[in-house]
Chains A and B, each alone.
Chain A
Amino acid sequence: MRFTKPLWLHHAGEKKDHEVYSCHVSPDGTRLATAAGDGHVRIWSTEAILNASDSAYTKPKQLASLSYHSGTVHSVRFSPNGKYLASGADDKIVCVYNLEPGAPAHTTFGSKEEQPVENWRIFRRLIGHDNDVQDLGWSHDSSILVSVGLDSKVVVWNGSTFEKLKTLSQHQSHVKGICFDPANKYFATASDDRSIKIYRFTSPPPNATAYDQTSNFTLETSVTAPFATSPLTTYFRRCSWSPDGMHLAAANAVNGPVSSVAIVQRGNWESNINLIGHEGPVETCAFSPRLFSPRPHGEQQGATVTIVACAGQDRTLSVWNTTFPRPFVTTQELAAKSISDLAWSPDGETLFLTSLDGTIAAVVFETGELGYPVEVGENVKALAKFGAGRRVGIIEGADSLRLEEGSKAGELRGVEGRMGELMGDGPAQTGALVNGDAETAAVKPNGVAAEPTLAPPKDPAEKLKQRVTITKDGKKRIAPLLVSSSNTGEAKLPRPQLQAAVGAGGHASDEAAGKILDLSKPYDGLPKGGIASLLLGNKRKYAEVEADGEEERKRGEKRVAAVQATGAVPIVHNTADGLVPASASAGAAEGGKVEIPEVLRPAVVSSSLSVSQIRLAVPMVRSVILRPLDTDHDNNEASIVFEARNSPPRPGSRAQDREPTRITLTRRSNSPSQSQVLWQDFLPRPAVLCTGNRHFWAVACEDGSVHTWTPAGRRLTNAMVLEAQPVMLDCRGWWLLVVTAVGGVFVWDMRGLKAKFGGGSVSLAPVLDAASTAQGQGHLTAAPSLMFARLNSQGVVVVGMSNGDGFCYNGDMGIWQRLSEGWWAVGSQYWNTSDTSHTQTSTKPNTNGNILDGIHAENISAGLLPYLERHTTSHALLRGRSFFLQRLVKNIISRPTEGFENFEATVSVAHLENRLAAAYTLSAREEFRVGLVMYAKRIGAEGLRGKVEELLTGLMGEGMFDAVEDGETEGVEWGSKEEIVGWPREVLLKEVVMVLGKHRDLQRVVVPYARFLGVVDAGGGGGMVVDG
């Protein structure tokens, strides 16, 4: 054993060296990173350290110095794939650095630092802790980075995008250590709450986001036994996992009154072994990354052993070997203050240590001193029994394997397709863009990322073009010259959102989506803020009881009020004159005869009943109402305009004595002289609204009559007389929609001359929130305004309210259904109305000119759901109408209280289900499929086995079900026909099965369906893959 402590290996301070808190060796063993109280992370050449005594050695010693923290750096760790270096400091920030090619450009200006040799650059700053970051750990496949801190939080970061995946707040006190299971299944965090918590995880894919990782990183167990009285005075509790995955060494444990290192057994998490001997609490322990054999390589090898080094406040280093009950080495002379960190080089025979006295030293063991390291392959073998190198879950058959491969291949194709789209070329050129790294390379040619070299311009005297402007307060201002957009920002690796934005750009966002919107054109004359509405309450006045005069009546009311004050509902009789207290004299006077109320209004207005509880604002009578025929794009041609011209009231005469209203249809061309009147008609009443399309024209008059004409000007029907003035008139295809001032909604099929709804009309009352506001109020109350009421090509009425809710009338069920509301907007993770992913129809931009309104079978309700959700966004979120709900939900999400832990996930799934149901109701073909896939992905990721099973059964339908297994179908399914919303059942089922196929824990459910569909080649059926 040789001990090396070069003089130059320190973080130099003014008077004494800065205390060093952490060290780590890069996975290739060539670099040592150290972190100290001067806020610097320094990277050293390990070769230089080990050759410090050799005066002939002239290669660089310090490779780089990174000063991006504003406080003491507590932890520094290389990623096992060698790409990144992460450091955490008491400025609450985690910095991630990467090694850029090319020579380093500069030292920190004005410092006495040596010129760096390697171009380490800051790559990301991760903000997520509320207090000092105390320790860091990378998973062994580098897929995640986990930081722990004094804020008691454990934060999981994506190892590729460095997006925050999850914050775990289960620890009750400072978290001071983290280590990863080499089998990639667990990580352990050690805290001052005197526990080590073991978290189970599955490695997320490089493009993982916080959304799909909600069910990952779950607490497996909490180990508390060895820490019952452990002191809270240590800086760290750096634990370590043995390279064979069998044991976890926990620092700062106690065994009775003496401090120890507890060895926790994997699986049962018991700690029967204690390493005793340290006189002070142990700050850190580290397993050598290799397994050792007592005999040299080639000879008969016995059982392999592991080596663990421990050190702490007693300034002693001890090195233990699992076969001996005593330490192999103890030494007290290495440092003058407590030892803060230990790091083994990858060969397993060199140990680096750091101390708070500023010491950075290396301990080199001679070959054979620790034993003989066995090949790395042995580690893999040892770990294999814990399932390292593959995801959790067991493939249960060849079919499952094929299904999984198929599912992954599908995903890969998706990624490639997207990348091709991004790059603006065919998918052929974007060969193997699988993971995040490749994406980087692919995006660079776009010119987003600049050249990494930062060489200063050759000629410093080069005249910079800059123009001085003077600001308002008289100061000079110039814009700097951008020399290079640095390698730090987003340019490096586009975030997922960024990609989504690029994709959306190609689709010209909302406008393009609007083109295939299957809705009638908005009514032009709608007032700003929508049509105001008022509700009349159900509450009835108390009857005037005349018998005993004023006092008697008051007494009755008082009694009722007293009953109400106790919270009870007073018993009253609903008489023709009004409400009468149950035992009031009026009732008694009639000799106890049971009174049958003559008038009863239901509390909730049935949509087919009387509607007079509502008043909608009636539009003004305008002198001219114009309605051009919607033409596609032939603006140059003559346009056809429908015009209703009301005559002004003649002075001196009564208001209703007007001249007749003139209705004309004109063909207008560019020059007014060539305008041609196609036909003309006259109406006795002023027109209020008009509409029309290729099929018919309609005018609604002030007196509530609706007149219709054919395109040639024949009267199509007799005047249709409404119960009240019309407030809205709209048409689409052969459907004509009228909304009256009392909330009646009429939809007629003008071809068949039939009403869409059985009772003639349906009431808007339920939509106006009548159920909750109208109760118990005897006066008029304002209800949400009607923002739009439009038709789709099936004659389905879609209504948007000013509170953001969106409804449609389900004719089959005879009820209004709420398709969109603010609740989803604030609670669901899938609320993203600018995202075009669920509006993109893969095919056919609607170019068929022959059908003008774009009514296609496959376009039914296209774009309707996104339209409603955008409406909700603009009213509920942007205008802040659901401010309180938003705040409430934010509160719940940010600090989950008891019983609300899964709030966001649950609401999100519910939102997807709601979307799916809406698409089904509206027969929106494309939305249904996209929604279904999105839903399948989510419930797959959440592992909701029950829902998956039900979804698959539902998709399968009864007809196909017998083919799979002879169980009985239960639960809800979509219809009984061969098709669901225009898609063959098989197509949908196949898509869902492919999405779910990669989740091993669900394969038992999914595989029978896959087998039925022939997704997996049925050939090899029986062969089981015995795994692990």
Chain B
Amino acid sequence: MATVSLLNVAVRNNPAQFTSPYEFEITFECLEPLQKDLEWKLTYVGSATSSEHDQELDSLLVGPIPVGVNKFVFEADPPNTSRIPATEILGVTVILLSCSYDDREFVRVGYYVNNEYMDEALAAEPPAKPVIEKVRRNILAEKPRVTRFAIKWDSEE
């Protein structure tokens, strides 16, 4: 059984500008005292075709963790557009929010993200070089895909 279970993730600013930071309010429950911190990580999948465009947007250590239900806000910078192929910026992609304990990942939450122009003219005829400022990001917050992994916690040694 997992010592830490993810109870809820609320996306705070959604939809938002492509360039605005990501904000997640994360609620989790800890059942036993932990010796180490939890490390949360947000990854932006830049391209559907290859993992080389994946960007780790931010990582954050959370601790010390009291036993009980805890929450915190995870803020992460937007992706660096220079590292994303121009053709891949628009459209549907994925962000991954993962958490690991002692370098062992135990939960991963995937969200679909839709990036599109706000004004219809641009949307109808997108320019060759995307106008980042006008791109709106919409996280499909109500359909997270959660994968849980069984890992070794402190008490199971």
Residue A110 interfacial (CB < 8 Å):
yes
Q: Check A483–B59 contact: CB distance below 8 A.
A: no
Residue A296 interfacial (CB < 8 Å):
no
Q: Check B145–A481 contact: CB distance below 8 A.
A: no
Residue A759 interfacial (CB < 8 Å):
no
Summarize A's interface: helix, strand, loop or mixed. Answer: loop
Q: Which among B58, B66, B69 has the greatest number of chain A C-beta atoms within 10 A?
A: B69
**Complexed CA–CA distance, A461 and B73 (Å):** 10
Q: Check A480–B150 contact: CB distance below 8 A.
A: no
Can you name the residue of chain A whose Cβ is closest to the Cβ of B65? A480
Q: Check A486–B12 contact: CB distance below 8 A.
A: no
With known contacts A475-B59, A477-B37, A477-B63, A70–B2 Cβ distance under 8 A: yes
Q: Check A482–B69 contact: CB distance below 8 A.
A: yes
Q: Check B1–A109 contact: CB distance below 8 A.
A: no
Render B30-45 as a binary contact track against A, CB cut-off 8 A, 1 for contact.
Answer: 1110000101000000
In the complex, what residues of B have CB within 8 A of residue A479's CB? Answer: 62-64, 72
In A478-498, which residues have CB < 8 Å from any B CB?
478-486, 488-489
With known contacts A460-B12, A466-B72, A480-B71, A486–B31 Cβ distance under 8 A: yes
In the complex, what residues of A have CB within 8 A of residue B70's CB? Answer: 480-483
Q: Check B68–A91 contact: CB distance below 8 A.
A: no
Residue B6 interfacial (CB < 8 Å):
yes
**Complexed CA–CA distance, A754 and B22 (Å):** 88
Residue B94 interfacial (CB < 8 Å):
no
Residue A125 interfacial (CB < 8 Å):
yes
In the complex, what residues of B have CB within 8 A of residue A617's CB? Answer: none
**Complexed CA–CA distance, A478 and B70 (Å):** 12
Partner of A110, one of B1, B27, B145: B145
Q: Check A464–B67 contact: CB distance below 8 A.
A: no
Nearest Cβ distance between residue A75 and chain B, in whole angstroms?
15
**Complexed CA–CA distance, A634 and B95 (Å):** 72
With known contacts A486-B31, A489-B67, A464–B73 Cβ distance under 8 A: yes
Residue B118 interfacial (CB < 8 Å):
no
Residue A894 interfacial (CB < 8 Å):
no
Partner of A489, one of B2, B31, B39: B31
**Complexed CA–CA distance, A483 and B73 (Å):** 13
Q: Check B69–A483 contact: CB distance below 8 A.
A: yes
In the complex, what residues of B have CB within 8 A of residue A460's CB? Answer: 10, 12, 25
Residue A1020 interfacial (CB < 8 Å):
no
In the complex, what residues of B have CB within 8 A of residue A483's CB? Answer: 27, 68-71
Nearest Cβ distance between residue B114 and chain A, in whole angstroms?
19
In the complex, what residues of B have CB within 8 A of residue A476's CB? Answer: 58-61
Partner of B31, one of A109, A122, A478: A122
**Complexed CA–CA distance, A110 and B142 (Å):** 9
**Complexed CA–CA distance, A460 and B30 (Å):** 21
Nearest Cβ distance between residue A65 and chain B, in whole angstroms?
13
**Complexed CA–CA distance, A464 and B29 (Å):** 17
Residue A845 interfacial (CB < 8 Å):
no
Residue B8 interfacial (CB < 8 Å):
yes
Render A449-479 as a binary contact track against B, CB cut-off 8 A, 1 for contact.
Answer: 0100010100011001010100100011111
In A106-151, which residues have CB < 8 Å from any B CB?
106, 108-111, 122, 125, 127
Q: Check B62–A486 contact: CB distance below 8 A.
A: no
Q: Check A69–B1 contact: CB distance below 8 A.
A: yes
Can you name the residue of chain A whose Cβ is closest to the Cβ of B58? A476
In the complex, what residues of A have CB within 8 A of residue B60's CB? Answer: 468, 475-478
Q: Check A475–B61 contact: CB distance below 8 A.
A: yes
Partner of B68, one of A68, A471, A478, A486: A486
Partner of A484, one of B8, B25, B69: B69
Residue B9 interfacial (CB < 8 Å):
yes
In the complex, what residues of A have CB within 8 A of residue B73's CB? Answer: 464, 466
Residue A415 interfacial (CB < 8 Å):
no
Q: Check B155–A484 contact: CB distance below 8 A.
A: no
Residue A93 interfacial (CB < 8 Å):
yes
**Complexed CA–CA distance, A454 and B27 (Å):** 11
**Complexed CA–CA distance, A477 and B69 (Å):** 18
**Complexed CA–CA distance, A475 and B58 (Å):** 10
Q: Check A480–B29 contact: CB distance below 8 A.
A: no
Partner of B1, one of A93, A111, A466, A485: A93
In the complex, what residues of B have CB within 8 A of residue A486's CB? Answer: 29-31, 67-69
Q: Check B7–A106 contact: CB distance below 8 A.
A: yes
Residue B91 interfacial (CB < 8 Å):
no
Q: Check A477–B61 contact: CB distance below 8 A.
A: yes
In the complex, what residues of B have CB within 8 A of residue A71's CB? Answer: 150
**Complexed CA–CA distance, A479 and B71 (Å):** 9
Residue B126 interfacial (CB < 8 Å):
no
Render B63-107 as a binary contact track against A, CB cut-off 8 A, 1 for contact.
Answer: 111111111110000000000000000000000000000000000
Which residues of A are interface residues toward B (Cβ below 8 A)?
68-71, 91, 93, 95, 105-106, 108-111, 122, 125, 127, 450, 454, 456, 460-461, 464, 466, 468, 471, 475-486, 488-489
Known interface pairs A70-B1, A109-B5, A109-B109; 20 further A-B residue pairs with C-beta atoms within 8 A, sorted by A's residue number: A70-B150, A110-B146, A111-B146, A122-B1, A122-B31, A450-B68, A460-B10, A460-B12, A476-B60, A476-B61, A477-B37, A478-B60, A478-B61, A479-B63, A479-B72, A482-B68, A485-B66, A485-B67, A489-B31, A489-B67
Which 3 pairs, one residue from A and one from B, show the smallest C-beta to C-beta distance? A110-B146, A485-B68, A480-B70
A selection of 29 A-B contacts at a CB cut-off of 8 Å is: A70-B1, A70-B2, A95-B1, A105-B7, A106-B7, A109-B5, A109-B8, A109-B9, A109-B146, A110-B6, A110-B109, A110-B144, A466-B72, A466-B73, A476-B61, A477-B61, A478-B60, A478-B72, A479-B63, A480-B62, A480-B70, A480-B71, A481-B71, A482-B66, A484-B69, A485-B69, A486-B67, A486-B68, A489-B68
Which residues of B are interface residues toward A (Cβ below 8 A)?
1-2, 5-10, 12, 25, 27-32, 37, 39, 58-73, 109, 144-146, 150, 155-156
